[in-house]
Homo-oligomer: A and B are copies of this chain.
Amino acid sequence: MDSLNSSEPPVFADIKDAARQLSGWARRTPLLENTILNDELGFRLIVKPECLQRTGSFKFRGAFNKISRIPEDMRSKGVVAFSSGNHAQGVAAAATLMGMKSTIIMPKDAPRAKIENTKALGGDVVLFDRQTESREEIGERLQKEQGAILVKPYDEPLIIAGQGTIGLEISEQVGEIDAKPDAVIVPAGGGGLVSGTALAISETLACPVYSAEPDSFDDHKRSLEAGSRQPVPNGASSICDALLAPIPGELTFSLNSRLLTGGLSVSDDEALMAMKRAMLSLKIVVEPGGAVALAAALTQKIDLKGKTVVVVCSGGNADPEMLARALAM
């Protein structure tokens, strides 16, 4: 990838390049498992806890991979991004580290903690109404007025390559714990995380990779089945605030349609149950959207008996009320 603004899908070399770019900046999250849980489930469940990543989600990886490559003479213009909260925090943190201003357009109903943290990380937050305003229009206006550089949440090669470093790390780390994955399951909103991860896995472990979504936002699942991008029906809702993108990304779907074995989906209650499991058995805090791949594995949306599965828990930025709700399941 030569350009900061390439619109070509990334290739494996871009992920290795992103890993070098992130080295010393992003955290290399560990792999976690619990032998008691494995015995109970009848398969080996390995978790990649990106809730432990800087800013509490995987989003820092892609954001930093993009923002840190902005040439010095362009940095004064700042960056702009729209996000329900995790991309927001990733962009704000990466921009602050690079000495850049960031403007983040967030929905009014995003979790309180995500809005507050984005501000605390140095972002200028602009709130909008999901029902009546277009975040894209607000974003374009800010780009024009300020000349700010747009950092898209998923449909951008450097972002996908940055998230793909998770797949690269998984492929290296499973060797350290003597595991040979039969499948990898990854949460999907716009599809950046799963496409980048699948790209890395296809060149390393070469095992099946599945997307995981809320039942009511199963656009990846249906798109993979249809062979073309299918939107989420109007009026859909889910507690998985990180996964509410309206349709798979163009660039991400061009990768996912080739690389994914299939799409899985779970109910909000299954996501809550997975959050509880994550707290009690793995000692990590995962937000609803971050828990859908774990939920898909725990409820065996695919047959996992006797197998080894790696699931990405993509974020942990939940309000205490949501954690309490999960614990009460």
Identify which of B30, B34, B328 contacts A29 (C-beta below 8 A).
B30
Give A255-304 interface residues, CB cut-off 8 Å to B.
276, 279-280, 282-286
In the complex the two chains form, is A117's CB within 8 Å of B36's CB? yes
The chain B residue sitting closest to A96, CB to CB, is: B35
Please measure, in the bound complex, the distance between the C-alpha atom of A124 and the C-alpha atom of B32, giving whole angstroms. 26
A113 at the A/B interface (Cβ < 8 Å)? yes
> Which of chain B's residues have a CB closer than 8 A to the CB of A39?
120
Number of copies: 2
Q: Digitize A293-329: 1 where CB-to-B-CB distance is under 8 Å, 0 elsewhere.
A: 0000000000000000000000010001001100110
Is A52 at the interface (CB under 8 A from chain B)? yes
A323, B278: Cα distance in complex, Å = 13
Q: Which of B52, B93, B279 contacts A35 (CB 8 A)?
A: B93
Residues of B within 8 A of A29 (CB): 30
Q: Is the CB of B30 within 8 A of A280?
A: no
B36 close to A52 (CB less than 8 A): no
Residue among A56, A117, A285 with the highest chain B CB neighbour number at 10 A: A285
Q: Say what secondary structure dominates the interface of chain A.
A: helix
A282 cross-chain contacts in B, Cβ below 8 A: 52
Q: Are A113 and B280 in contact (CB under 8 A)?
A: yes
**Which A residues from 104 to 123 make CB contacts under 8 A with B?**
113, 117, 120-121
Q: By the criterion CB–CB under 8 Å, are B283 and A36 in contact? A: no
Interface string of A82-111 (1 = CB under 8 A from B): 000000000001000000000000000000
**A51 interface residue, CB < 8 Å from B?**
yes
Structural contact, B323 and A51, CB atoms closer than 8 A: no
A sample of 6 inter-chain contacts (CB < 8 A) reads A28-B30, A279-B323, A283-B316, A320-B327, A320-B328, A324-B327
User: Top 4 closest A-B pairs, CB basis?
Assistant: A283-B316, A51-B283, A283-B285, A36-B120
Please give the residue numbers on chain A whose beta carbons come within 8 Å of chain B beta carbons, in ascending order: 27-30, 32, 34-36, 39-40, 49, 51-52, 54, 56, 93, 113, 117, 120-121, 276, 279-280, 282-286, 316, 320, 323-324, 327-328
